[in-house]
């Protein structure tokens, strides 16, 4: 059996190694257009910033090491230019010599990945305009910085690459601006959770121009003007386009394979395309979201590696199935860690799901043990069934641990209240006896059992200020004086029982504190005396961060702009 693989990075390299482990006698040939195989895309920005010093650390395997270990024929600088399913061959061009030839196959795996999205804008071909996707792209940017010592950069796009590159360019002392059309960074997060990422990025001196549309680029004064709609241009010494990726599927289209979203390759759960004996994996394929069941594109290394393994299994006679993508992710943004899994609230609602959430601000470990840091957690679940749909966490220590627990819980089909039952490891340096994940479960259980009702940040402005309801802030007088929501009166929770006479029993009471705990206690006190109560989800800390971020964005965005 001869297997040809187009693309030798995540999915392709994994498929090649798995094929060899399953079939010692198979002939395996991999064609990779670039000069590198099995490299770490996620590490590229950190080489530019000097965090990773040795360029060899970017490649997990070389063609030589792959051959020595697996006897796989890895041919770099070879571009597959056409597929011929009718005669089961591919056309190949050796980019070093110009030689062109046809290579036969019994089975074909397509792992072409995705390419940086490059809009057709004026000036898009300027020399000081870069993209970052391959090792060669990385060396080009690194060499330019080393040679010209630019002092400023504009990054068009605020996803993984934009954020990671912003951090690394700041490490080099450069002035950095991120500009993009959406009014938030990191689309997998809800806007309220993205506010914490914005705050951290601004704190480290990165300028955010959110809600701006880039309309072109122009050379000026030795640098580049980034032309914006309805706003003055942004000038910088260099510009990096990081506005997303597009499936690289021209070969599949020309060969007549069935295509899906944005021209991606359609596959079944065995990673088989519409053409017999051709499989496809990685960023180029359309998959099902495991939570919503919707068709999605997810450019993440984990799914690509799993898909490569599945394709290899099935080529070798197995019956492996891809169960869908959940979209679990984690990233570092300066000192902050941000992570998400499943679907965010906005996406769940667009998918037709009725949602509710709990928002909490737990410590990373036991409060009495030194060094604990606050994190902010948002857990999304379905109304009625309480099925877990997604989670987002921003914080410092312990974020990755909790998101992985929640990812496993979503995969297992658990409900939000069942999180309380998870038996999680505890020691003071690492957690609390009631882990943050357990706490989210306790909160969801209280909602499910009617112990407490809540209101959310989107409800605050609509609350009547005409005296028909009671708006109550139960923080200390000092906290209240430091900032509060207009219309909320202050009675500290520890004084509440003695001041019940100030509240009218017939009026519903909407209660807020700093994080949601004291207001929950206040709600239970008031409920004991017959009051109808609602607890604010997330507390004033959450409200202040989100509304403060919104003000900054709205103040910066031009009026009347097409969003």
What phi-psi label fits residue 450: left (phi over 0), alpha (psi between -120 and 50 degrees) or beta? left
What count of other Cβ atoms lies within 10 Å of the Cβ of residue 383? 11
Q: Where are the alpha helices (DSSP H) in 255-337?
A: 301-315
Q: Which helix (H) or strand (E) holds 533?
A: strand 533-536
Contact 516, 524 (CB under 8 A): no
Do 540 and 376 touch, CB atoms closer than 8 A?
A: no
42, 316, 513, 559: the catalytic one is 42
C-alpha distance across the termini of the chain, in Å: 53
Q: Rounded to an integer, what distance in angstroms lies between the CA atom of residue 547 and that of residue 175?
A: 26
CA-based radius of gyration for the chain: 27
DSSP string, 387-431: BEEEEEEEESTTHHHHHHHHHHHHHTT-BSGGGGG------TTT-
Pairing type for strands 470-473 and 454-455 reads: unpaired
Burial 12-30 (b: 16+ CB within 10 A, else e): bbbbbbbbbeebeebebbb
160 touches 300 (CB < 8 A): no
Residue closest to 36 by CA, chosen among 182, 138, 134, 156 = 134
Q: Are 299 and 286 in contact (CB under 8 A)?
A: no
Q: Has 42 been annotated as catalytic?
A: yes
Catalytic residues: 42
């Amino acid at each position: 059996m001869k297997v040809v693989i187009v693309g030798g990075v995540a999915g392709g390299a994994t498929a090649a190694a798995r094929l060899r482990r399953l079939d010692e006698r198979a002939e395996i040939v991999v064609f990779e257009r670039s000069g590198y195989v099995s490299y770490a895309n996620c590490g590229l920005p950190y080489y530019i910033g000097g965090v990773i010093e040795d360029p060899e650390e970017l490649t997990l395997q070389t063609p030589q090491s792959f051959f020595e270990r697996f006897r796989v024929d890895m041919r770099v600088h070879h571009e597959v230019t056409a597929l011929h399913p009718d005669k089961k061959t591919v056309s190949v061009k050796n980019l070093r010599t110009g030689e062109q030839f046809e290579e036969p196959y019994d089975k074909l795996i397509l792992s072409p990945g995705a390419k940086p999205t490059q809009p057709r804008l004026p000036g898009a071909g300027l020399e000081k305009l870069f993209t970052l996707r391959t090792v060669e792209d990385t060396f080009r940017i690194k060499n330019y910085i080393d040679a010209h010592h630019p002092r400023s950069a504009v990054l068009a796009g605020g996803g993984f690459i934009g954020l990671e590159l912003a951090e690394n360019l700041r490490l080099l002392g450069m002035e950095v601006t991120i500009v993009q059309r959406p009014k938030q960074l990191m689309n997998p997060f809800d806007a309220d959770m993205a506010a914490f990422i914005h705050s951290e990025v601004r704190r480290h001196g990165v300028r955010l121009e959110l809600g701006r549309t880039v309309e072109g680029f122009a050379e000026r004064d030795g640098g580049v003007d980034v032309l914006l709609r309805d706003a003055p241009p942004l000038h910088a010494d260099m510009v990096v386009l990081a506005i997303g990726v597009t499936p690289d599927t021209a070969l599949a289209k020309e060969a007549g394979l069935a295509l899906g979203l944005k021209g991606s390759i359609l596959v079944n759960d065995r990673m088989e395309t519409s053409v017999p004996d051709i499989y496809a994996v990685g960023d180029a394929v359309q998959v099902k979201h495991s939570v919503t069941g919707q068709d999605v594109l997810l450019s993440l290394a984990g799914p690509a590696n799993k898909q490569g393994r599945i394709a290899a299994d099935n080529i070798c006679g197995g019956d492996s199935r891809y169960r869908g993508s959940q979209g679990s992710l984690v990233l570092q943004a300066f000192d902050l860690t941000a992570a998400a899994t499943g679907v965010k609230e906005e996406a769940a609602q667009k998918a037709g799901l009725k949602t509710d959430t709990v928002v909490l601000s737990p410590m990373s470990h036991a409060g009495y043990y030194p060094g604990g840091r606050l994190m902010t957690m948002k857990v999304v679940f379905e109304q009625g069934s309480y099925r877990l749909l997604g989670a987002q966490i921003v914080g410092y220590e312990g974020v990755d641990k909790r998101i992985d627990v929640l990812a496993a819980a979503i995969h297992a089909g658990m409900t939000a209240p069942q999180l309380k039952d998870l038996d999680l490891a505890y020691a003071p340096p690492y957690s609390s006896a009631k882990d943050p994940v357990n706490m989210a479960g306790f909160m969801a259980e209280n909602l499910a059992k009617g112990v407490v009702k809540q209101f959310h940040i989107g409800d605050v402005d609509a609350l009547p200020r005409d005296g028909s309801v009671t708006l109550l802030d139960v923080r200390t007088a000092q906290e209240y004086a430091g900032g509060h929501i207009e219309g909320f009166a202050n009675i500290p929770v520890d004084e509440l029982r003695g001041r019940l006479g100030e509240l009218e029993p017939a009026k519903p009471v909407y209660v807020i504190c700093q994080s949601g705990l004291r207001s929950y206690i206040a709600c239970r006190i008031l409920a004991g005396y017959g009051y109808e109560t609602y607890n604010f989800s997330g507390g004033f800390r959450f409200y202040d961060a989100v509304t403060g971020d919104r003000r900054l964005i709205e103040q910066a965005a031009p009026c009347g702009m097409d969003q």
